[in-house]
Structure 1
């Protein structure tokens, strides 16, 4: 009986030791489970943050795309306006050149006609003083004088028409015409420089936005590839039982 009792006590002690070991293992498992739950919660938070960042970046990308389309539209409008201005400039320059030639020719003809009229007038005055009276002017000389006067008037009308055609309502001088051509050239040059400046600004803005988007994508990809940090290991004391 005593031996059976001793064996029963030994088995009871062994059972108690196993129970203690199982309780310790259960406590360790519980701690590990809590640590995993905390890690899962942190991972869910990071996932939510990543989703919010992706939404924000998507919105910014859409805004950047819209701005890019707006800039492209403005550049197209400016390009069309520049083409129209260049075509108008060429047309105006050709017209000014043609009218300037006409004006120069008309002035030359007017100067020649004026000299001819003066010459004929002097000849008529001389003949009146020497041979004929005021009313006995030779018919050929009188006809020549009338023809020259009419030519002079016609040339003057042509000059006036050319001036009016150049600048309606204003009688410009050659210096004013030259200044008008220079001002037009300056305006065209300013328009060309403004177009180049807008194109350069749009190109730089597009490159900057693309660079920002690329860096943001690389940062997100790097964070996505980076494994989450392991939970801190907790030291668990192990109780030893003496046999």
Structure 2
């Protein structure tokens, strides 16, 4: 059994997609980030960076002790190794997947996150910041579109790279991007969107009814996160 510490963000969706694809037994433990539950001492023991998602695997391979993991990319890598699925076993194939996983973790996610922040949540509209991150989003979409021009999936076969990238493309309209401008992404996106496990993962999120109104207090929690004891 795997405990998944989760909220319905793109990074959270990555993990439910994998767990549904691999049909692993898991239990969702909601961490309401708008209420500051990510700062609880119990959660910080699992995720010292006070971010979701995190997991505890109560039945790891060749170990009697549970393993806790934070950072969505590390979780995907661990689960792929655990199940021997969605990650090639040959070195060239594995590196191909891992470089695109790192691309998402180090570039696509952070830049699109800034796009979301300055376009939707910042207390004042800063045209320079909005333009900078919308343009960077467009550039990153172009990189992905080029990668997909002759491939069904990002790294040959369906993998944790696709699972990591897809949830960040879902809110493309909020990011001021038109998928029709990126035909290879559009084709890939619709293919992933139609996978039963992906649909189940998003249905789970919908049924959890975690959508909350962003208030001034929740903004202070989400966007003014200093160190808390």
Q: What is the TM-score normalised by the length of structure 2?
A: 0.23
More strand by share: 2
More helix by share: 1
Q: What is the TM-score normalised by the length of structure 1?
A: 0.22
Q: Which has the higher contact order (CA 8 A, sep 6+)?
A: 1
